[in-house]
A and B are shown apart, each in its own frame.
Chain A
Amino acid sequence: MRTLMSTRGQAVVVLSAGLALAGAFMAIVLNRGSAQLGDAVSEKSRQNARETAEKAVALGGFLVANNLVLCREDGWSGLSRKCRWGGDLVSPAVDKSVYYLEQQEGSDQPLTFNAKIDFEVDPLKAAGGVKLSDSKSPVKISFDLINDSKIKNLVGEVSASAKPVDQDHYFVAITAQVPYLDVKGNQNNFDKTSLLRRPMGTPFLGLPESPQCPAVCSTAVSEGPHPECRGPQDVADGNVGSVFITVTNYGPGPIYRLNYKKTVAYDKQYFPDLKPVVSTVNAMATQEVLMPGQSMSVSDVFPCVKPKTITKTVVENETCSRRRHTCPANLNPVSTSISSHQEEVGDVRYDFDLTKLSESLEPARLARRIDKREVEGDIDQAVTEKTTVKIHYIPTH
């Protein structure tokens, strides 16, 4: 059993480190009220408060796991807190009132609801069976996203094998505060805080169209309406090609950050001096959350580069012989020019660099299968699934 100070200065007790990491809910029990023996009525009241708090955090966990409370590391535009109601983003929308929640105003505090949580259930009633009682002193349920840096010793660490795909250091702290009268008749609160990680999202990058680098060339001043090139095959204005990428969140949780590592590699025959260019693509643009089942498209750009040479040798018979078939005559190696209708000159690849997963994905966890080879091998090379498309170079015609 360990004790820590929460962000609100309360003593919380963590019962079993690592449970939250494993996906279980009950991580922390807190009791600010003293556990003195005393008046039975008062104690009953405190006991009721405890039970109510337990119900409240159970509800809170449910709300987080079902994407009804969304917590984002960088917070939300227009809000100074990190969590918000997410019912308006699920489909169909769910209003807070369905859960008898009433949001407490105040922008600089954790997301807090006044809740009618003190209910009774009659399990034997055929239908219905839930009775809500009016709470004279409403229960408060609040949500905040906290980094594990302060509670690392308590929540434990992810297993070594999972580390490549689990760099999520954030927990939603769900705190229930239930008022009760203590033995002296004073108003007191029973607090309970639970930790839960956000459900992971699963990005899926759809196959984009083949990106193209349209060429341009200068022309001479002449009377001809269809001039010839009088300059090299250059790249168009801005030196970029574009590719339209579509990302779908397969869920079950929302995605709050999605930065793909993009590697643009060019064929050495056309671009002998060019090294692969690595950059980052924000696949969510300015959108703050990508809900499960939701797709969004972003037009990505990549550098188009002027080919140093526009001739290359195509050695098609090499692969042909590898297949042990008789090579057709037209598969002999040929030196060809880029002057054909189009050429493949490189590729654009999107993936996650697993060493920087927390910069790439929020929550920084992946449910995707990774090759054993990639996990055991050089971690720097470990990436997730790759979406690659060929760059076609389109000469001017």
Chain B
Amino acid sequence: MAQKIILGKTKAPGFTLVEVAVALGLLATSFLGTLTALKYNQKNKNQAQNIENSSNLQPVLSQGLENFILNVKDANKNNTQALCKLFVTSADDDVDSPLVEIKIVLEESLLKSVFPDKFWDDAFPAWTRVSCSKENQGVLTRCFKLNYSLLSEAVRKKMESLNPEVVASITPLGVDPLDPLAANSDQSKMFYPLPISKDPKKPTQVDAKKVIFKLNSELTYSPSGTESSIRKKDDTAKLLWAGDVGFCNTASGKKLSPTATGEGDPLGRTFYNSPSFDPGINPPLTVIPYKKQIQTGIADNGRIRTDLERNIEASCNEVKFRCKNDSETDRVFKPSFYVDFGLQYDSRNSIKAIPSTRIAPDFTIRQDAGLATSANGSKTDVLETKGADTDFALDDFTKSYFEFNDHFYNKYFTTTKPPADAAEMALDDKKTHQLRVRVVNANNACQEICSDDNLKSLPYKARLAYTLWDVTNKESPNGYHREYLSTNSIGCTACYMKNCSRFGLRTFGPMKEQPAEPLDASLPECAIKNTADLAQPIPVNATTAAIDATTVYTPQKSCVAASPDPTSGSLSFSFRDCSEKLPVLCFNYGRFFVAKNVSNSTVSPDRVAFADAYERCYKTGGEKAPVDRLREMYKQQGENPEFETNLKNLPVAGGDSDSVYFVNNANQGIFLAPQTTEQIKNAAQNIKVDFPSETYVWVGYRTDENFKLWAAPPISGGRNAAENEFSLFFDPNGRARLATHKEKPDVTPPVTSQIGGYVLTHHIRHRGLVPVKMVQDRSSFEFLCRKSTAPYELFKTTGKASKNQNDGISKCKQENGVFVPPTTPLGWVKALTLVAEPHSNYPHPEPSSVIPALWVGLQTDNTLVVDINGTPSSYLKDGTYLSVPPTDANVKVMCETKTGFFVSKPYDSGAEKKGCPDDAKWINTAALTGMVNKTRWLLAADDGEVFYVADP
């Protein structure tokens, strides 16, 4: 390798260091030339030829050191030698994560093995290594004397007089001013020496890109013409940054990039130094339970939109309205519900940096006891440890997941359990995944989850547990990491409406906030299911105080108005002239409210006479709808030829040719008075909120001269105007139905100057009392009766249909009843449901071509000219009740107690008080005279009972 050098001519006079320099330079170049792929070959040659003095010598020396460090290629041209041998990574070589920590290891035995003496000897071929003096000891320090035997005789002599010696050293320096080692440096926080550990177990490790090597060569010689004892020292330093290496190869064929300044790598075969990556922070799996279960919507300027803020993660969804007081087992839930989790695997995680993994999801629904403090003070979710006693078992469930791909629904995986292996998900860090858990047969689970109206203190939660698999061990994958995640409480969504499939505001919502009545109800259906409500007395007194103490009662003044009481939050009632025009309190949309005119920008109450209140309440179902939008709605739901026809029939709204106006019979309202304490309170509240300045509003009560209230019988509203012939509602599948209603009750109308009867109808189109001829020409109807014994329930006869209303007395009696009408608002509601039950999905009965009807024990005044096609004001002048002589031996008398309550007692014709207790008052004929013209023996008592009062 080394060769003897014969110096040629030189421009410099005499023998100076130039000779040494040239000689060394050529020697060094010669040495370098034996290495492959030398970068600096040419450069060195040039430098060597230009060397004039010791300053030119130094680069050559340090160049040797630089090659020593940077010439990292092995025989296969891979960068594995020298500096590359000092690199270590934080990851296993078989790991596929591109970002790792790359450090330089500074430890004595390693450095000795990487840079053995032979390397130094090869780097300084013209020199002979000698022991260093005491002050020049170091792991990466070597001392040399010139190898004179390699020189020509002439040169050798000169060199011997110069006697050059070299101390070559490599010093790793830290360059991170924030490094604690920098703080220890007594002179600079930059370029501070890094300690070289002597303990292989505790090597110094430094971020590879923060290390600079100082390559120092110190030359001492005796200058020409001086005494040999006078030594001149000339040294120089070169800095070599670890980044200069570019990259290193690993044994497994990967690359290490200490500065990440090189090429990108599409195959993941390069480790990039990323010290900012802290694997202790990143969990391997991010799981987000998606909040996409809608809970409620909000009204927004004439439109409805979803309230995303209130969405929840998972929910038991009721599909049928259930009254709050009904048995909880009556709730019907959707048979399945979904819990969707978004999953993202991050290969740069705290567990193991592998590019993909698998998980076996384990889904349970359990009651949550919150966080418990364990013995060591850490908080654990009790879900994890709660045990079998409270573990809630699902009947069955399926798991499925979507692996997102290029196309929607491209991959869909579902499985039932078992087998367990099929329920595994493969996860890699290049895609996001969605785990969809579908809980089937959910009804039973939901019954439990939603018991107590979901107000339980320990709510149920969905829990996803998973085991991450070490897929790098393909032979025997091991689960090595188990985590779980709890969703927020599983919600319970209750139907707020009978029509729980409709598109519209507040169709459903949180169970905890469920309203008392369905919000699309046009009858207080829940109140009548509650026997306590049904028996709740109607308000007793219609006082005169509100009007004028001197007002004298007359039948014309038997109509009742309500006033919100500002202090009690209740209503007070007073009797007023029936022809007075007042706002009307109606029931519709699940509540009592004052009918209002919404066609103007300023909403105001409509004022009508009492007799017109029936029609006005019916019309609270009126709506003005945009035609184009309606058409588009139907189009979106698929072709519907029937719809176009019906749409054309809808009357154009006055003053707005783009809209139609019609009374939606599916939403028709009713003139009905509030009866229960709760209803009265709500009604008072609604009046105050809507129209705080209104003092009196008509309510569906009449009174007698004793100021006792009874329900104004509900006359059917919605006569034959064209706008009244339509209904528009959503069916249980959420499809809109627009229907035209030409149906009429199949009845013989009343005849002029004859006392007529009433039938009670309940149909989407016609609801309430319809005056008819007392003896029908062709139609027969069953009878609405009341049991003659407590609790005097309303019922309808079976198999006793008759054309003659008067048959009611005998027909009812055959079923242990009496032929009397209801007397309370809720009694009338109950009666309507006896005519036809509201559909379980609608607030009205299932639409039918036949209008069901029952005979009711009410007669028309014989002076009335009534016709089914007549105007609403023609009906029920005085609320005339049918006169039925008491023929029943079980007739009772009504007595008013000292405390103002009515009680019934068996009739005793011989007794002074006809059977009433001594301290009670017998309600005699005289007291009832003014109530209605011909009804002298019928009253409703405070306890909801109905009585005959025998004609004395």
Contacts and interface: CB of A to CB of B under 8 A. Distances in A.
A370 interface: yes
Contact of B308 (A166, A200, A267, A394): A394
B252 interface: no
A311 B244 CA distance: 64
A86 to B, nearest CB: 13
- Give the contact-size bracket for chain A: 35 or more
Given A212-B308, A224-B589, A207 B286 contact: yes
Nearest to B96: A369
B244 to A, nearest CB: 5
Interface stretch (A74-82, A184-192, A317-325): A317-325
Contacts of B503: 217, 228-229, 233, 339, 395-397
Nearest to A197: B261
A289 interface: no
Contacts of A236: 305
Given A58-B240, A218-B626, A369-B267, A341 B493 contact: yes
Nearest to A343: B292
B385 interface: no
B31 to A, nearest CB: 19
Interface string B770-781: 000000000000
Contact of B636 (A206, A268, A309): A309
Nearest to B170: A123
Interface in A168-221: 168, 196-200, 202, 204, 206-210, 212, 214-221
A43 B53 CA distance: 9
Interface stretch (B189-197, B363-371, B788-796): B189-197
Contacts of A375: 266-267
Interface residues of A: mostly helix, strand, loop or mixed?
Answer: loop
- Give the contact-size bracket for chain B: 35 or more
Contacts, number: 483
A228 B212 contact: no
Contacts of A99: 177, 190
B615 to A, nearest CB: 14
A349 interface: yes
Contacts of B355: 369
B667 A224 contact: yes
A166 B263 contact: yes
Contact of B408 (A24, A26, A267, A370): A267
B598 A221 contact: yes
Contacts of A387: 344, 432
Interface string B560-594: 00000000000000000000000000001101010
B493 A232 contact: no
Interface stretch (A3-11, A106-114, A135-143, A246-254): A246-254
Contacts of A227: 299, 304, 504-505, 623
Interface stretch (B627-635, B705-713, B714-722, B811-819): B627-635
Contacts of B904: none
B270 interface: yes
A128 B192 contact: yes
A365 B263 contact: yes
Contact of A198 (B59, B261, B398, B620): B261
A211 to B, nearest CB: 9
B443 to A, nearest CB: 12
Given A207-B343, A366-B264, A47 B304 contact: no
A337 B735 contact: yes
Interface in A214-268: 214-233, 236, 250-253, 265-268
Given A202-B98, A250-B99, A54 B306 contact: no
Interface in A311-369: 311, 316, 319-320, 323, 325-326, 328, 330-331, 337-339, 341-342, 346-347, 349, 365-369
A371 interface: yes
Given A54-B238, A222-B598, A230 B190 contact: no
B3 interface: no
B342 interface: yes
A389 interface: yes
Contacts of A372: 267
Given A125-B193, A368-B98, A369-B267, A131 B638 contact: no
A37 B47 CA distance: 11
A254 B505 CA distance: 49
A129 B187 contact: yes
Contacts of B408: 265-268, 346-347
A210 B335 contact: no
B733 A308 contact: no
A370 B267 contact: yes
B360 interface: no
B636 A232 contact: yes
Interface in A1-27: 1, 15-16, 19-26
B292 A23 contact: no
Nearest to B589: A224
Nearest to A24: B246
Contacts of B733: 337, 339
A221 B246 contact: no
B244 A24 contact: yes
B501 A339 contact: yes
A123 B344 contact: no
Contacts of A337: 637, 733-735
B15 interface: no
B484 interface: no
B59 A47 contact: yes
Contact of A47 (B55, B240, B294): B55
A225 B690 CA distance: 12
B293 interface: yes
A272 B422 CA distance: 33
B61 to A, nearest CB: 12
Interface stretch (B271-279, B445-453, B825-833): B271-279
A311 B184 CA distance: 73
A207 B503 CA distance: 32
A293 to B, nearest CB: 4
Contacts of A296: none
A214 B175 CA distance: 55
B241 interface: yes
Nearest to A372: B267
B624 A226 contact: no
B137, B501, B520, B623: most-surrounded residue (chain A CB, <10 A): B623
A24 B52 contact: no
A62 B294 CA distance: 54
B629 A226 contact: no
A210 B238 contact: no
Contacts of B52: 37-38, 40, 43
Given A337-B735, A397-B503, A229 B293 contact: no
Interface string A382-394: 0011111110101
A252 B292 contact: no
Contacts of A265: 407-408
Contact of B261 (A16, A38, A65, A330): A65
Contacts of B620: 223-224
13 contacts: A23-B261, A123-B138, A130-B188, A209-B288, A216-B304, A221-B624, A222-B664, A226-B504, A232-B629, A330-B335, A337-B637, A386-B404, A396-B503
Nearest 9 interchain pairs by C-beta: A23-B262, A339-B734, A369-B268, A231-B629, A24-B246, A228-B504, A128-B186, A388-B404, A385-B430
Interface of A: 1, 15-16, 19-26, 29, 35, 37-38, 40, 43-44, 47-48, 50-51, 54-55, 58-59, 61-62, 64-66, 92, 94, 98-100, 119-121, 123-125, 127-132, 158-159, 161-162, 164-166, 168, 196-200, 202, 204, 206-210, 212, 214-233, 236, 250-253, 265-268, 292-293, 306-311, 316, 319-320, 323, 325-326, 328, 330-331, 337-339, 341-342, 346-347, 349, 365-372, 375, 384-390, 392, 394-397
Given A127-B193, A209-B291, 17 more contacts: A20-B261, A121-B171, A124-B137, A168-B264, A218-B626, A220-B626, A222-B621, A222-B664, A233-B633, A250-B99, A292-B276, A323-B413, A337-B637, A342-B294, A386-B404, A395-B294, A397-B504
